[in-house]
Structure 1
């Protein structure tokens, strides 16, 4: 009976979220989910750059012959790009790890909204930090890809799957920052310290 009364008192003391706050948090969750899907598609396809009849990717290197037939190999050293074989292992590992971390972050964001308790704001903050970490990893992968293939890069050579990863990295950043910001303006840290 005492535990039930304590829970009721906590429920009354906990501030109710406004419609605007709930809407913004739901929008952040939706955008993170879209970013995870875009990044997953981009990694699975992996063909990010088409230049001079060559298709460079995370998993394959392809060439187009005289008969317009695409010939792909998994031995990336055949691309005649210095460090590409080892570099692509790093790139695909980093971007794949970014997606895994983003999924955990998304999970924390959703749980914080579905299961309203004393720790829900902390879960939201942790989820937002994980999303920002995903941004750092995915942007590192994208930049490493650009550095590896700097001699072959043309703006029109980037494929749709590359732009999916680029947009996903941008969404990770935007939503991670937004998540932390909305938590700070709706639940200032000074109030957390007092509790």
Structure 2
């Protein structure tokens, strides 16, 4: 059983992510029992991305993740679905295919929530590695670097993380946005 206290994950965020996972699975959107949780309510200096194996109840990863440069500095507080916003998106996503591009090995995300994150694929919101996502950068600058909206992760983590979550697994990007929390069809238990 997943125990959020052991990994600094808020119990309510874990609960919501599991509800979203179950609803995505009921809709036939999930191929494998892997759940990625991003908690954008935490500052970027904290490890705020977790990957879980749902069947085994195990944490597979806990690492840092960037938010978009226009979402905030140390803490993200503004999110968007709009192309060119350079902001992160919240909500429920499903992982798609991998590719190697300008940011190296990357993973496409498909946003599942109309008006919240359904432009993610068109915006090229992908998981990729970035040198500026590291504890050294956080220590030197008081925050990790920011992306153009992508959930960028440490370069040494990117390949094993992507290989674990690729191909139709759920990514749940949380922020306590009351409008989204009230209207998301994925958060109805």
What's the TM-score once normalised by structure 2's chain length? Answer: 0.23
Give the structure with the higher percent strand.
Answer: 2
Give the structure with the higher percent helix.
Answer: 1
What's the TM-score once normalised by structure 1's chain length? Answer: 0.22
